[in-house]
A and B are shown apart, each in its own frame.
Chain A
């Protein structure tokens, strides 16, 4: 029996956040602090011939100006991949703080630190830059042509393919292809979208000329950020301290590693100025100059038997990764692994992923990490196959869905799988049997659709994944857990303390979690890949075993009993239920810890663990309404059923699911970054970027399908990204059910929809 795991414990950071006391990077004000502004390229591709700062330097209040001429030229990768890429692969290091070539509109050219932000911005206008424009390329197909402009000639000689083609082979798709009797093929196109987290990227860097660099920042991975900064500035990593203040206003993948370049630029300026420097991205900078979701297209082919059994899958993905690699290469792996292969029994898989450089804003990690694109491709193809076979799409999915004990291509097993239940529950919630396939007429038409998928509980085996942490009992018997995991919003730190309190056997009121700081704890990968609760929890339950052992050993001596008969329950040392009589008087841990302290002993453990991985499963269903005269689509309801193993804190789990549902709705219908040649992306603000507002939310039902994963701490699996994955497939399927038109391109903006309606139905 757990006391906390499984309960809706109110978030521990709720008070800080609801009262405005909680600090974020933007709330850090240090004595003598300067403010920064950045000069960015107006060209999509150009050589930077010279940067003349002489006029700007003369301005009163300007303290330092950083350019390619006075900052390190070290090549780096601004994301975690720089330190987490698996051997023998090497991360692509193609970024510099400022470089001789600008590769997209918005690329960094110079930065100013001044007494006020207004002065810094004014100074930018006085910096004279001479550019030599180069030919540019903006999409995957053009970039792959012979003779295309080379975005990163040093890193993709001749072909703009970033990091090489990502290949997944399982079984033998080629040899077995013709064993199938029915073949479906679809090509889908997906747009670029933005994370648009509420807090823009930011950093406050404080360089001490004795060689210590302290950086407050919005990173969602403090350790990788620290290691990247140490590399860029050629400093011992032990002299670089990165911390969240402790809160981060949303992540969604966009600040894995550095927060765009906020930390690097603030640090470069602080080193030059020898004063603290604060650099907070404007909303427009955040939209236009940090990682986004990859746009691109995917061709999927399924070979199946007439009875619907899947035989083989063949997929080719072409993704626009923009000007720099960041996490593009790793992402293409996940697109193939989790996305395009989905949660089905495919005995044979062939996947090729092409990540292509272009002269656009970089694309990188974004909730789902390539899986939403892959899932949209695969689920479209499965729906197509169902149509060819004359089968109900739900039925076909149930037939081929993965289940417990199945073999699959991943190097780790399916430890628990309730996908069938997810599919059934989602379908039931949406009213599948009553609503699907009902002929619609008139101006407003309704339909239902379904999609499903799987994801990960951490980054392994695609990248290195492990945690180290401390756990200690304070002198008064309270528990302090120190781990460098960040809290970017999901409530991971609350869930982890629930796990720790249960695992150690102490009341949560007497427990605290210190987090988000590289000085308070040893290495942690950070928050990404739906990993934090699963992976850090994996370590904490093991540390709890060590800690209890240490407590029992000392208590045994102190109380003169056999340590193996002792238990720690709710902060009291007691005899185990099954221990031989006589049982000891319950002894408060507070008393014991104090007595231990007086005898020169504190209960402290540390450790380090790499977790295994446990796939979560999920199915989403949607009901939509289409206006045949305007092409407007309204989502009436979204139902999501998720197998997340055990839900440590159900209300927080629902929060993750609902969050993903609404983000997925935006992906399916509205959100889109639109490029205008010569100007860059049009969408530089919330009013030009159609993410859903509160009045756009449909009815939602999130269903947690009870499960238990044997590898997960207390049976837990990942959940953070899952809600984003099958939402678009469910919505697009529902639209087809409503109006008989299948869309192969998202988002389903009214213009796109009406055009098709007119093509099919006439005016």
Chain B
């Protein structure tokens, strides 16, 4: 039986009838074709499916779709504003923090939630907070550096 879901995704109000046993990631990918959110394990163990819901980074792969009711969802597709990359995206590209790229959208969303909450994280905090994101390509070092650089830029932007 389908249930009515009203939610906001990347600023767009969406109303759909959905199977409540569906996971949020499948709704985003299969129904809305927002395929930037990836599935790496579908068990909440790799972070590739990370999105931001009501300001918090969450794993969309183990989340029942109905949890999105009345929520504000931000996916990787909603991060670039007016053709301008978010500083985290930009630093990931410049800093070699991307290789195969499959973990990248999740990592960037996780990093955004982190920096929204803690604009000046230490290296250790970055590592600890983002350790739910698995990357098999980079060795993580360049990701850590990119997040710290983005944090610095975001602080500067705020000061300006």
B-side interface residues, number (CB < 8 Å)? 56
Question: Are B41 and A686 neighbours in the complex by a CB distance under 8 Å?
Answer: yes
Residue A404, interface by CB 8 Å: no
Q: Which A residues are CB-close (under 8 A) to B95? A: 651
CA of A248 to CA of B100, assembled, Å? 6
Q: Which of B63-71, B133-141, B151-159 contacts A (4 or more CB under 8 A)?
A: B133-141
Q: Which A residues form the contact surface with B (CB < 8 A)? A: 8, 10-11, 13-24, 26-27, 29, 195-200, 247-252, 282-283, 488-491, 651-652, 654-655, 657-663, 685-687, 691-697, 700
Asked if B143 lies at the interface with its beta carbon under 8 angstroms from chain A, I say: yes
B 61-93 to A, binary, CB cutoff 8 A, 1 in contact else 0: 000000000000001110110000100011011
Report the separation of the CA atoms of residues A589 and B125 in the bound assembly, to the nearest whole angstrom.
51
Instruction: Given the known inter-chain contacts A18-B104, A249-B100, A662-B140, please indicate yes or no for A695 contacting B131, CB distance below 8 A.
Output: yes
Please provide the chain B residues from 120 to 134 with a CB less than 8 Å away from any CB of chain A in the complex: 126-128, 130-134
Cα of A248 to Cα of B104 in the assembled complex, Å: 13
Determine whether the beta carbon of A18 is less than 8 Å from that of B102: no
Cα–Cα distance between A663 and B139 once the two chains are bound (Å): 7
**Contact A198 B139, beta carbon cutoff 8 Å:** no
Are B142 and A197 touching (Cβ within 8 A)?
no
A22 nearest in chain B by CB position: B101
B residues engaging A (CB < 8 A)?
A: 29-30, 33-43, 45-46, 48, 75-77, 79-80, 85, 89-90, 92-96, 98-105, 108, 126-128, 130-144
Q: Is the CB of B140 within 8 A of A694?
A: yes
**26 residue pairs from A and B, CB less than 8 Å apart:** A14-B93, A17-B98, A18-B101, A18-B104, A18-B105, A19-B80, A19-B89, A20-B35, A197-B102, A198-B134, A198-B137, A199-B38, A247-B100, A249-B100, A250-B99, A250-B136, A252-B136, A489-B100, A652-B96, A654-B96, A655-B138, A659-B99, A660-B139, A694-B127, A694-B131, A697-B139
Q: If the complex has contacts A24-B38, A686-B46, are A18 and B98 also in contact, measured as CB distance less than 8 A?
A: yes
With a CB–CB cut-off of 8 A, which chain A residues contact B100?
A: 197-199, 247-251, 488-489
A197 pairs with B136, CB closer than 8 A = yes
- Bound-state CA distance A23–B102 (Å) is 10
Known: A17-B105, A200-B40, A652-B96. 7 other contacts (CB 8 A): A17-B98, A17-B104, A19-B79, A23-B35, A198-B40, A686-B46, A697-B127
| Residues on the B chain within 8 Å of A490, using CB | 99
B54 smallest CB distance to A (angstroms) = 20
Q: How far is the CA of A659 from the CA of B99 in the complex (A)?
A: 10
CB-CB under 8 A for A198 and B48, given A691-B134, A694-B143: yes
Specify which chain A residues have a CB less than 8 angstroms from the CB of B48 in the assembled complex.
198
List B contacts of A10 (CB < 8 A): 93-94
Is A20 in contact with B134, judged by CB distance below 8 angstroms?
no
Does B105 contact A20, Cβ atoms closer than 8 Å? yes
* Alpha-carbon gap, A339 to B130, bound state (A): 35
The smallest C-beta distance from B36 to any residue of chain A, in angstroms, reads 2
| Inter-subunit contact A13/B101 (CB<8 Å) | yes
Task: Report the separation of the CA atoms of residues A127 and B83 in the bound assembly, to the nearest whole angstrom.
Answer: 51
